[in-house]
Amino acid sequence: MNLVHLNEIAVVWIGDACKWRPETVRRAYELIVKSWSEAGVEPQQLAAFAPGVGKRYGAFRQKRRFVEKARFENIEMLAFGRLFPGFSRGCTRWEMEADISPKSRMFVTGCVPSLVGAAANVVRDSAHALISLSECRYAYMVRQKALYSPSAMAYGICIHVDDDWRHEDSRYNIQNWSLIVGTSAALITGGILRNVFPENYLSEFHLRARLGRTGTTLKDWIQADPTARGTLERFSNILTKWTPPVERIPQIREELYRAGRVFYWRFVIPGTRHAQGDMTPEPFHRPDLSAPWEAPEPIPEIYRADYWKDKDPSLTY
């Protein structure tokens, strides 16, 4: 089994708060099958969570018959994949992947560009199409080492590996974002960013969100200094694409965390319940995520720009 590719960089798009319907699930399925096949990288594996289909991965050409017969009426999730060289069956080690998840109200699609070559453009284009097709309220592009299984980030599965040096707060952020966003609209309507990514697709909830206790909105703040904070470009009738300068992501993240716009897992934890039944309140808990908030000092180190000074600012760790 060849594990050399685990240090390659994967690029993954995630869409949250999607409005999947049987017709749009069907169109997403057809889009992925057609675009991948025309690029010469037909899916190898397919899993579908639906009555009569089963939840296990199977060979794409066999499994697709059961999926298409299900008529997309009760699909909970579709998962397509092409495996790393040396792997023979479904696992988290994909060189290309795409998940359509009506149950979790999300989608994930990505690849390892160094392995798939020109097909990386197909994944990018299909990601942009899925953002519009799913009518999602928030989307972002993640660059991350394949070692950390970027698709697991989408589902809040924080995989601990032997050389996982990531900060504990980073791991808890991964776990708690997805646990909350799949069941509640509070993070989206509160205008909370999961992080600052190389590509961010923002709804009006994000753009109108106030920074700290000021009257400045996120949109106003970005547009006040596009050289340092990036550009906004209308992407769809729902989302605006924000592209920050990659080299300044650590500084932007710190500023926006201080202003209450970047997610911290403690925001959504009311407190710690003890064996005796009593609870210690969480001082960072924010019952209303849209309410004005400014970070107390000292801020957690993962939000300090200098914490990331020796790391690639384009990567999400």
Neighbouring C-beta atoms of residue 119, cutoff 10 Å? 19
As given in the structure block, the two tokens for residue 226 are: 């596009």
> What amino acid occupies position 66?
F
> Is residue 141 within 8 Å of 235, Cβ to Cβ?
no
Instruction: Please report the pLDDT score of residue 88 as a whole number.
Output: 60
Backbone angles phi, psi at 55, to 5 degrees: -105, -5
* DSSP state for residue 296 in the 8-state scheme: P
DSSP per position, 12-62: EEEEES----HHHHHHHHHHHHHHHHHTT---SEEEEESTTT-SS-EEHHH
> What residue segments make up the domains of the chain, in order of their start?
4-155, 168-308
Strand bridging mode 271-273 / 279-281: antiparallel
CB-based contacts of 165-174 (< 8 A; 24+ apart in sequence) = 166/317, 167/301, 167/302, 167/317, 169/264, 169/265, 169/300, 169/301, 169/302, 170/302, 170/317, 172/265, 173/263, 173/264, 173/265, 173/302
In angstroms, what CA-CA distances link 193 with 115, 137, 221?
A: 30, 12, 15
Q: How far apart are CA 116 and CA 129, in angstroms?
A: 20
In angstroms, what CA-CA distances link 165 with 9, 31, 136, 267, 317?
A: 17, 38, 32, 23, 9
Backbone angles phi, psi at 218, to 5 degrees: -60, -40
Q: How far apart are CA 4 and CA 33, in angstroms?
A: 28
Reported pTM: 0.94
Q: What is the distance of C-alpha 76 from the center of its chain?
A: 18
Question: How high is the mean pLDDT in each 10-residue block of the chain (317 residues)?
Answer: 76 96 96 97 91 81 87 90 74 85 94 96 98 97 88 80 79 87 80 97 97 96 98 97 98 98 95 81 93 96 97 94
Q: How far apart are CA 234 and CA 188, in angstroms?
A: 18
Instruction: Please report the pLDDT score of residue 1 as a whole number.
Output: 41
> Is residue 158 within 8 Å of 171, Cβ to Cβ?
yes
Instruction: Find, among 163, 104, 114, 177, the residue nearest to 134 by Cα.
Output: 104
> Is residue 31 within 8 Å of 129, Cβ to Cβ?
yes
In angstroms, what CA-CA distances link 168 with 171, 192, 212?
A: 5, 20, 25
Q: How far apart are CA 3 and CA 194, in angstroms?
A: 30
